[in-house]
Amino acid sequence: MEKNGFPVAFIDSEPIQKLFRFPETKLHRQPFIKYKGLEESLYIYIEREREREREREQIRGDQCPGHKDRERERDRERQRERAEMESSEGKCKILIFGGSGYLGKYMVKASIFLGHPTYVYSRPPTAKTSPSKIDLLHEFQAMGVSIIHGELEEHEKLVRLIKQVDVVISVLAYPQVFEQLKIIDAIKVADNVKRFLPSDFGCEEDRVNPLPPFQQFLEKKRKIRRATEEAGIPYTFVSANCFASYFVNYLLNPHEIRDNINVYGSGKANVVLNYEEDIAMYTIKVANDPRTSNRIVTYRPPKNIISQLELISLWEKKIGRNFNRVHISEQEIIKLSETLPYPQNVQISILHAIFVKGDLMNFEVGEDILEASKLYPDLKYTSIDQLLDIFLVNPPKPVVAAF
């Protein structure tokens, strides 16, 4: 049985009745964007009902004071809604690989926050999938993220998906670094992507010369950069420097009661500690900025440049106690990089490059490398001082890096 061309069960269902009762709200207009099979016919039907209601109001409202003012306000609201929908439709569609990972979850939320239709490619859940990952994917879906389950080996599926988006961002963990070659191959076949950001997000790998274990680590990432360039794909390479929450936990151990804090080398080398949420926000902006196409962008907000000794002193002032500084010499660190097994030898080599040599600040930004806080001066980033205040109240949990 049908009513106005639609099944009665459908028209009388609670979601559709809500649409009829609240015809002017933006929330109830959103289903037309998602369910394109019903969009046109249902939209025409509801607009016809609205028009009939306006005609009835006009007949009644001529004798009602303020009716024309209310009608004009409704018209303005409808125009605002249409403008917002058109603006949303004009946003680049972003596909994220590794969206459920440590940095990936921030990237997904930043993309949604900035109004982009967002897709996450994720492995199909299994009995071994952690409950926290399942909960995170459900959270993404509630935010409006489109979750596509699949493997990176499914080439044709990747190509079909990539053809639907404008920007591809990889936030895959280091063990999957060469898996990005499959993404690059799919992007080449799709031949429509406006920007690809491979999973860099650390130091500027083309401008450092670290100890051998870290050098070998970076060489794999450099191969992904060269493959991207050779494929002729529009890219942006991001040097996000240090993940601030991760390194504050590692360096200061705020979750533990300790008397000693390790200092690597002299502790005077400047580093850059950027809050993970800010890294994600900068990255989504960079991915959609024509100024950053085929460029390297580094994240060096001035208030996040700090030495290890300065960081320790700042933390001491905030918590009202002092620590014994235990210096680990450069010679000892180099020896450890030669004797420790993998991946500890990589970890100690990273500490040497960042906190002993100061490699994050050993090159100038300019024509070859753009700096994010100068590109987006209106973005209110979290300073390291503000981040330590967060650690006082609600400290982020320590995490283990994947190698």
Catalytic residues: 221
Site of tokens 């596909």: 95
Q: Is 294 left (phi over 0), alpha (psi -120 to 50) or beta?
A: left
Name which of 391, 40, 87 is nearest 246 in CA terms: 391
SS (H, E, C) the chain: CEECCEEHHHHCCHHHHHHHHCCCCCHHHCHHHHCHHHHHHHHHHHHHHHHHHHHHHHHHHCCCCCHHHHHHHHHHHHHHHHHHHHHHHCCCCEEEECCCCCCHHHHHHHHHHCCCCEEEEECCCCCCCCHHHHHHHHHHHHHCCEEEECCCCCHHHHHHHHCCCCEEEECCCHHHHHHHHHHHHHHHHHCCCCEEECCCCCCCHHHCCCCHHHHHHHHHHHHHHHHHHHCCCCEEEEECCEEHHHHHHHHHCCCCCCCEEEEECCCCCEEEEECHHHHHHHHHHHHCCHHHCCEEEECCCHHHEEEHHHHHHHHHHHHCCCCEEEEECHHHHHHHHHHCCCCHHHHHHHHHHHHHCCHHHCCCCCCCEEEHHHHCCCCCCCCHHHHHHHHHHCCCCCCCCCC
